[in-house]
Amino acid sequence: MSEIRFDAVHHRFGERTVLSGIDLTLTEPRIGIVGANGSGKSTLARMINGLVEPTAGTVTVDGVDTAKQGREVRRRVGFVFTDPDNQIVMPTVAEDVAFSLRRSGLTKPEIAERVAQLLRRFGLDGHADHPTHLLSGGQKQLLALAAVLIREPSVLVADEPTTLLDLRNARMVAELLAGLAEQVVLVTHHLELLADFDRVLVIEDGRVLADDRPAPALAAYRQAVGRQ
């Protein structure tokens, strides 16, 4: 697993402090992040692959500074957004996954083979030539995941990847995430997905309120919600 480190991280958007005093060393295979809307979860998650640079402090992945070496970090850390429509760029399923390998140095037949393998693994092989806009929400999220994982990142950060999906599709995506060999950082409101996780961070008003095994962390979260 990779080592994801936050050292004295603060973040402001304009006047507004969004994260403060974040010190974390994350090395576990399965890390969950929960917290109220607006608490800073997405900002924290985006820092792991340099999509957001901290206004103070540093974030590193295996010692690589996300602010200074963004490209190198993004090779190691894949990111999946809540809305797969923001991530799907090509007209068909196979083309979209292949697009991720455009700068890989692989030949066209090698890319085609890798794409075919991955689509089989994701149960999308019957959809290789389908227009992406005709996929179901769940299939779109699988496609977005496939397009990220084909680049073989060591860490996958997923920011509420099941929030827009119905129960059946949410389950399908959750099962796929659960079976990955890659290290996963999952931001979610679907707390049941975190039951088997190694570590859960509870974010409240830009700070880490709890950082523990799932049961005690989620108990702290529920208690905090109850206080409000």
Ligand X SMILES: Nc1ncnc2c1ncn2[C@@H]1O[C@H](COP(=O)(O)OP(=O)(O)O)[C@@H](O)[C@H]1O
List contacts with ligand X (CB under 6 A).
Answer: 13, 18, 35, 37-43
- Which positions ≥6 away from 62 have C-beta within 8 Å? 2, 3, 76, 154
Binding site partner of 35, from ligand X, Mg ion, none, Cβ cut-off 5-8 A by kind: ligand X
163/223 with CB nearer ligand X: 163
What is the closest distance, in whole angstroms, from the C-beta atom of residue 160 to ligand X in the complex?
Answer: 8
Residue 11 site contact among ligand X, Mg ion, none (CB < 5 to 8 Å, cut-off depends on kind)? none
Minimum distance from residue 34 beta carbon to Mg ion (Å): 11
Task: Please say which residue, 145 or 203, places its beta carbon nearer to ligand X.
Answer: 203
Query: Which of 42, 60, 132, 139 lies at the binding interface for Mg ion (CB under 5 A)?
Result: 42
Residue 132 touches which of ligand X, Mg ion, none (CB < 5 to 8 A by kind)?
none
**C-alpha closest to that of 60 among 152, 155, 176:** 155
* Binding partner at 183 among Mg ion, ligand X, none, C-beta below 5 to 8 Å by kind: none
Distance CA 201, CA 208 (A): 7
Binding of Mg ion at residue 162 (CB under 5 A)? Answer: no
Q: Which is nearer to Mg ion, 135 or 145 (CB)?
A: 145
Q: Which is nearer to ligand X, 37 or 228 (CB)?
A: 37
Find tokens 């109850």 and name the residue. 226
Q: How far apart are CA 36 and CA 18, in angstroms?
A: 13
- Cβ nearer to ligand X, comparing 42 with 162: 42
d(CA 195, CA 32): 10
Do residues 202 and 222 touch, judged by C-beta distance below 8 A? Answer: no
Size of the site for Mg ion (CB under 5 A): 1
131 binds, among Mg ion, ligand X, none (CB under 5 to 8 A by kind): none
Closest CA to 97 of 135, 70, 52: 135
Q: Look at residue 18 and give the partner it binds from Mg ion, ligand X, none, a contact being a CB closer than 5 to 8 Å depending on partner kind.
A: ligand X
Integer Cα distance of 115 and 124 in angstroms: 10
Region of residue 56 (left: phi > 0; alpha: psi -120 to 50; beta: else): beta
